[in-house]
């Protein structure tokens, strides 16, 4: 293996481990929507590693599907609704959580495997990530309202870096991408997403502490 591949495997390992660890942390906080989406990211990362090391077609298909699921529905819809527990002071019922996840999976199957969507799929991903970014702006404002400046700044970095990655994902090739060890898209994207999942967790905790002082969650 060349040094570039080692770097990508390192970044993917960081991404997979952080996503799995913080996914479990969200589940412990009784937030299944964000927790399961983070676990989906972690499983995707594990399959990237397996695919790079073995060339497994199964791992490649799992990686491809989970990537489409997270970009199209998991992060911009499932995770956003989960994060609304601390910005909207409201939780869905367990039945509603299940229906939302099932609907997201069905939508992802159509999005990823329907050939007639090939032309619009990249634009759909950017639109959905833009919506996610818009919500994160609201999240940052909420953090500033309770004077959690550090976490607000951390979230801003996560927002801007992940939005940049989302915009270049299907539309721009980094010069020297196939040969540069560090300045290549997989390495930068995986570390960006690792930072993203960690930053959101601690910002969520900070906002949770602040909002619990003023009210309680309400089950739908």
Q: pTM of the prediction?
A: 0.90
At 182, is the secondary structure helix, strand, or coil? Answer: coil
Q: Is 24 a member of any domain?
A: yes
Q: Is 69 a member of any domain?
A: yes
Q: Is 147 left (phi over 0), alpha (psi -120 to 50) or beta?
A: left
Q: Is 13 a member of any domain?
A: yes
- Confidence (pLDDT) at 212: 66
The CATH number of residue 93's host domain is 1.20.1070
Q: What interhelical angle do 185-211 and 80-87 show, nearest 10?
A: 30
User: Over 80: is that where the pLDDT of 134 sits?
Assistant: yes
The structural domain count of the chain equals 1
- Confidence (pLDDT) at 150: 96
Q: How confident is the model at residue 220 (pLDDT cuts 50, 70, 90)?
A: very low
Q: Is 65 left (phi over 0), alpha (psi -120 to 50) or beta?
A: alpha
Distance CA 186, CA 81 (A): 28
Report pLDDT digits (tens) over 162-210. Answer: 999 998 887 777 766 666 666 688 889 999 999 999 999 999 999 988 8
Q: Is 219 a member of any domain?
A: no
Q: Is 218 a member of any domain?
A: no
Structural domain that includes position 209: 3-213
Across residues 21-32, what is the average pLDDT?
Answer: 95
- Confidence (pLDDT) at 2: 82
Calculate what percentage of the chain has a pLDDT beyond 90: 71
Report pLDDT digits (tens) over 33-70. Answer: 999 999 999 999 999 999 999 999 999 999 999 999 99
Across residues 113-137, what is the average pLDDT?
Answer: 93
| Residue 36, C-beta contacts closer than 8 angstroms, at least 6 positions apart | 23, 27, 78, 101
Q: Is 80 a member of any domain?
A: yes
Distance CA 127, CA 111 (A): 14
User: Over 70: is that where the pLDDT of 217 sits?
Assistant: no
At 218, is the secondary structure helix, strand, or coil? Answer: strand
Contact criterion met (CB below 8 Å) for 5 and 52 = yes
Report pLDDT digits (tens) over 141-159. Answer: 999 998 899 999 999 999 9
Distance CA 175, CA 184 (A): 8
């Amino acid at each position: 293996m060349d040094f570039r591949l080692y770097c990508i495997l390192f970044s993917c390992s960081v991404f997979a481990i952080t996503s799995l660890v913080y996914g479990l942390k969200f589940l412990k906080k009784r937030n299944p929507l964000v927790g399961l989406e983070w676990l989906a990211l972690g499983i995707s990362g594990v399959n990237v590693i397996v695919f790079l090391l073995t060339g497994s077609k199964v791992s490649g298909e799992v990686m491809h599907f989970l990537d489409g699921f997270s970009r199209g529905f998991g992060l911009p819809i499932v995770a956003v609704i989960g994060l609304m527990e601390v910005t909207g002071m409201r939780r869905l019922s367990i039945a509603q959580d299940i229906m939302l996840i099932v609907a997201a999976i069905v939508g992802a199957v159509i999005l990823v495997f329907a050939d007639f969507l090939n032309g619009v799929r990249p634009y759909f991903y950017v639109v959905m990530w833009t919506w996610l970014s818009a919500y994160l702006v609201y999240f940052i404002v909420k953090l500033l309202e309770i004077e959690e400046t550090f976490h607000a700044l951390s979230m801003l970095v996560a927002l801007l870096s992940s939005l940049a990655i989302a915009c270049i994902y299907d539309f721009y090739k980094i010069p020297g991408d196939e040969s540069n060890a560090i300045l290549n898209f997989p390495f930068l994207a995986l570390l960006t997403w690792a930072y993203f999942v960690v930053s959101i967790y601690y910002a969520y905790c900070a906002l949770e502490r602040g909002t619990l002082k003023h009210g309680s969650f309400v089950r739908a």
